[in-house]
Structure 1
Amino acid sequence: MPQFLLARPDSWYVQRRVVQELLGHLRPESAISHPHLDGDMDNESPHRPEPFVFEDANDMFHFHFPSFPSADEISDLSSHPVLELIPQNSPGSLNDKVKHVLVIRKPLTFQEENMYTPQFSPSAFFRAIDEFRSGTEGTGQGASQDSWRIGDAFMYGEVVSSTQTMFDKNPSFLRALPAPVVSLATIQLAGRGRGGNSWLSPDGCMQLSLKIRVGLKGSSSGKTNWFSLLGISGSYCWVAGTAIRPSNLVFIQYLYALAVVDACHALDPSSQWAHKVRLKWPNDIYGLFPCDKPGSKMEPRKVGGILVNTSFGGGVADVVIGCGLNILNEPPVASLAQLASSGSSASSLSVECAAAAVLVSFERIWNSFLQQEEEGFQPFMDQYLRSWLHSDQLVTLATRTPHKIARIIGITPDYGLLRTVPLSGGEFIDLQPDGNSFDMMKGLISTKKQ
């Protein structure tokens, strides 16, 4: 199904800027000025911009500039009304590679949301963004026509293949797309998890991908060490403005996990259930649920996960952060609503509010990280360890021959490795987040099977 390219109503210019950047990539001669585009995308202009196609490795993005038909103009009442916004002669209705993107002139009205986005309310999402931002200070990136904040640029589709794949597997589109931008779907047909796993998307799940861009620090003398450590080849250069060491990119998954925990506390102002949300290394979100087993009071069950993909070029990293979080799911799927079922905040939970809370929290944490980037993860270590499930946990390291029993003691602040100490004594054993699998129930860490 098609996706809407939207923007926060008070920052509607962001939608136009996204289109301009994409057109500038396709037609470099018009990168500075786009004749008729600005005027044609104005609410009062009688002209509509011409549709265009952005073809990439995995998908072909068809951008349309529709007008909404009246109710009596909708020809097929048996299909989803949003399909009426795609021109009848548009190719690709049966081609999975074709992704239709609808660029509308103004924010959806309440009636239009009920018709075209009945499973998700963009206006409720943007209101929640404003509400959660009102409680933060110093997190903005400026209000110029060339910058905007996380959550201001927003793509929504009721049914998509994968929000992560749409960004991550289309390198030209990813590079041309300005940042930050969010893609959210109600249903994913091919959702992705870490290490090639699938992510199921039952009703009530928040599924989004956020694209950010950050410059990379470096010099010709330091390039080989940093990039060989991360398994990256190629050249890169200094980027003016905000930049981080390449080795610090690993912390993005931990920072986003902290943002999920922080968002849960924002969604639970009376502190009735958010303290039950915990982190499993390296990228899973768990909840502590009542357990029926004798001698056990609480049982950890997975409610979400995080997937980070990074693309490098021209001295910058384009980072795509995918997150699936069960918000309103019914049993047997564990969800935040079930954690909050006995609390007064349960009735206020929604996918719209949860997505807004996570994005606003991540923006605050990410900007704080950038300001203290030289310190690595150290400023966030205590908060992370308070939120995770593993303090002093004993594990069997199947990554060693013979297997070793070790105690988990934390995360290394420089490279984000899981630090363990063998019970038999000796030096620390540090484990990379990528390439290792952690079976928490069995207390077993092993090499991840590809």
Structure 2
Amino acid sequence: MRLAPTLTRGGRALIIHHTRHHRVCMASAAGPEAAQHTPPPPKACVHAASPAELAAAQQQLQQGEPLVAQRGTAGQPDLHCTLLFPGADGSASPQHGAAGSGAGACGTFRPDEFLSALQTRVLGRVLLTADTTPSTQVLVQENVARLPDGLVFVADRQLGGKGRGGNRWESPGGCLMFTAVKRLAIPGQRLPFVQYIVSLAVAQAVQTEAAARLQGKSIDVRIKWPNDLYAGPLKLGGILCHSSYRDQLFHIVIGVGLNLSNRQPTTCVDALIEAAAAPAADAADAAGGSAGAAASVQQADSTQQQQQQGRRQPPEPVRREQLLAGILSRLEPMLEQLASEGFAPFEAEYCRHWLHSDQQVLLEEGGRHIPVTIRGLSPNGYLLAADEAGERYELHPDGNSLDFFKGLVRKKLPA
């Protein structure tokens, strides 16, 4: 990662820390020492919101060498990605990969449904889709200077997704896994807040999809600082952000992995919505039974059975296409506002969605345990806490612990 030369030493350390410790989602993980295997060269299909945008993307993407999908290791060459454009290959048709058909190179993501729901000027208007790829994050990050601004890459499965501490994540179907590139003119000190904005946009979009299926009710989806989404004690997803500086712009690579329909090894959005819908259906059944008892038995039984059958239908699953369009449509204006106004306009809403308001943390210092209470975020993007005497501190992870809250060190803030 290249950083802007104008960043302060503190800002530099902060951005490096956040790059190091992000995690994508969600499945079994193998450590960095795990045996490596060379997957077949991946293919990705290119789509765009308009013919003009597709033509411009094709011209830009076909310049130079093929896109690097995975860097080679000792004795192994780089792995490159073959791009398929509509009209150049039948398998690259935007309609290919519809639910119920063979996935093919394009995968099962429906670009037409996604693009028709998208409400952005740039973000997501050029789309790559794939059935299987080593890592959406690696491909975008390795080729970021060549990619159209706003490009998003979605894959059904990843064979070598990037995780914290060098872990390799094999992500199954049932996840919404995507990586986006956004070029942004933003002050360097605001850059660490990008991951918080992304987390908030994802949480809000998930809640919107849930409310549409639950008559306005919400589900328990929370942000775990700095970059994970949780449902109760179970991890639901994660965010991975990198940045580089070029031509007076930060090139921000945003990766998101979210359990949408895969119920193992933790939980998923569809399961949370179904669980929230069940109590409402039970209550409605009980009310219907009481009312039916006062009417004729035969008519009540018939009516009640019909009502119960309708209520007990599980909620419609959340579609990746609609959820991704909702995330990006929120995220684009939020990033622009972050660049111009900072994080202050979002802080209250972010804290409303996170797990940590008034959370008590024990810091280990010199063999002592010091209790502090989390009050919010500091101006630098770290945790803001106060001790029993009211002194304020900025809490920094020590960089060695897998659990941020078991490796915190404090820095006293001026009164």
Provide the rounded CA distance (Å) in 2 between the counterparts of 1:312 and 1:185: 27
Residue in 2 aligned with 1:360?
329
Shift of 1:260: 0.6
Other structure's SS at 1:282 match: coil
Corresponding residue to 1:419 among 374, 384, 409: 384
- Deviation of 1:196 after TM superposition, in Å, equals 2.9
For residues 426 and 262 of structure 1, do their structure 2 counterparts lie closer, same or farther at Cα, with a shift above 3 Å needed?
Answer: closer
Paired position in structure 2 for 1:238: none
Aligned to 2:93: 108
Q: Which amino acid aligns with 1:351?
A: R
Structure 1 match to 2:28: none
Q: 1:167 to 1:399 in 2, by over 3 A?
A: farther
Q: Return the letter of the residue paired with 1:130.
A: S
CA distance in 2, matches of 1:118, 1:174: 22
Distance in 1 (alpha carbons) for counterparts of 2:182 and 2:365: 34
Contact 1:150-1:181 within 8 A present in 2 as well: yes
Counterpart residue identity of residue 411, structure 1: L
Partner of 1:165: 138
Q: Is 2:356 the counterpart of 1:394?
A: no
Q: Residues 357 and 316 from structure 1, CA distance in 2 versus in 1: closer, same or farther, beyond 3 angstroms? A: same
1:126–1:314: structure 2 CA closer, same or farther, 3 Å change rule?
A: same
Shift in CA distance, 59/198, structure 1 to aligned 2, threshold 3 Å: closer
Find the partner of 1:199 among 161, 165, 169.
Answer: 169
Gaps of 5+ in 2: 1-40, 278-312, 410-415
Which sits farther off after the overlay, 180-189 or 197-206? Answer: 197-206
Match of 1:35 in 2: none
Match of residue 339 from structure 1: 272
Q: Contact 1:396–1:405 at 8 Å: present in 2 too? A: yes
Aligned identity (percent) is 30
Q: Which runs of 5+ in 1 are unaligned?
A: 27-52, 61-93, 134-139, 142-148, 215-242, 289-299
Structure 1 residue 279 corresponds to structure 2 residue 241: no
CA deviation profile, 1:422-442 (whole Å, cap 9, x unmatched) = 23x3632213479375748xx
Normalising by structure 2, report the TM-score. 0.69
The change in CA–CA distance for 1:304 and 1:311 in structure 2 (over 3 A counts) is same
Q: Normalising to structure 1: TM-score of the pair?
A: 0.64
**Root-mean-square deviation (CA), in Å?**
3.0
> Is the alpha carbon distance of 1:96 and 1:313 closer, same or farther for their aligned partners in structure 2, counting shifts above 3 Å?
closer
* 1:56 CA displacement: 5.8
Change (3 A) 1:262 1:117: farther
Could you tell me how far apart the structure 2 residues matched to 1:274 and 1:407 are?
Answer: 27
Higher helix share: 2
Paired with 1:57 and 1:3, the residues of 2 have a C-alpha distance of 10
* Residues 126, 359 of structure 1: alpha-carbon distance in 2 compared, 3 angstrom cutoff: farther
Contact between 2:161 and 2:170, CA under 8 Å: does it hold in 1? Answer: yes
Task: Kindly indicate whether structure 1 or structure 2 has the higher relative contact order, using CA contacts under 8 Å at least 6 residues apart.
Answer: 2
Residue identity matched to 1:444: K
The corresponding residue for 2:395 is 431
Q: 1 CA distance for matches of 2:187 and 2:366?
A: 30
How far apart in 2 are the matches of 1:57 and 1:201? Answer: 16
Does residue 349 (structure 1) correspond to residue 318 (structure 2)? The answer is yes
Distance in 2 (alpha carbons) for counterparts of 1:177 and 1:395:
43
Contact 1:5 1:15 in 2 (8 A): no
Residue-pair matches, total? 323
Q: Distance in 1 between matches of 2:166 and 2:367?
A: 26
Q: Find the counterpart in structure 2 of residue 34 from structure 1.
A: none
| 1:246-276 deviations in Å (ceiling 9; x for gaps) | 1111111000001111111221224566441
What secondary structure sits across from 1:364 in the alignment?
A: helix
Name the SS of the counterpart of 1:409 in structure 2. Answer: strand
Deviations 1:214-247 (A, max 9, x none): 1xxxxxxxxxxxxxxxxxxxxxxxxxxxx22111
Shift of 1:132: 5.6
Would the alpha carbon gap of residues 257 and 55 (structure 1) be closer, same or farther in structure 2, given more than 3 Å must change? Answer: closer
**In structure 2, how many angstroms separate the alpha carbons of the residues matched to 1:175 and 1:393?**
41
Cα distance in 2 between the residues matched to 1:355 and 1:184: 10
Matched, 1:382 2:354: no
Aligned residues of 2:163 and 2:169 also touching (Cα < 8 A)? yes
Instruction: Check conservation: 1:273, 1:339, Cα contact below 8 A.
Output: no
CA gap 1:57/1:178 in 2 versus in 1, 3 angstroms:
same
Structure 2 counterpart SS, 1:189: strand
User: What is the rounded CA distance, in whole Å, between the counterparts of 2:86 and 2:365 in structure 1?
Assistant: 53
Distance in 1 separating the partners of 2:106 and 2:314: 21
- In 2, Cα distance between equivalents of 1:434 and 1:154: 38
Question: Quick one: distance in 1 between partners of 2:96 and 2:156?
Answer: 19
Residue 312 (1) aligns with residue 248 (2): no
Tell me whether 1:324 sits opposite 2:297 in the alignment: no
C-alpha change, 1:398 and 1:322, in structure 2 (3 Å) is farther
Q: Which residue of 2 aligns with 1:11?
A: 50
Q: Is the 8 A contact 1:129 1:360 kept in 2?
A: no
Q: For the residues of structure 2 that align with 1:132 and 1:99, how far apart are their CA atoms?
A: 26
- Alignment CA distance shift 1:399-1:262 (3 Å): farther
One-letter amino acid of the counterpart of residue 183, structure 2: R
Separation (CA, whole Å) in 2 of partners of 1:161 and 1:57: 7
Match of 2:406 in 1: 444
Question: Which of 248, 254, 274 pairs up with 2:190?
Answer: 248
In 2 relative to 1, CA 202–58 (structure 1 residues): closer, same or farther, beyond 3 Å? closer
Kindly report which structure 2 residues correspond to 1:25-424, keeping only aligned pairs within 5 A, or say none.
26=64, 53-54=65-66, 59=71, 97-105=79-87, 108=93, 110=95, 113=98, 114-117=101-104, 120-123=107-110, 125-131=111-117, 133=119, 140-141=120-121, 149-168=122-141, 170=142, 173-214=143-184, 243-268=185-210, 269=212, 270=214, 274-288=218-232, 300-342=233-275, 343=277, 346-370=315-339, 373-374=340-341, 376-398=342-364, 402-412=368-378, 414-423=379-388
1:316: how far off? 1.5
Report the Cα distance in structure 2 between the residues aligned to 1:399 and 1:108, rounded to whole angstroms.
60
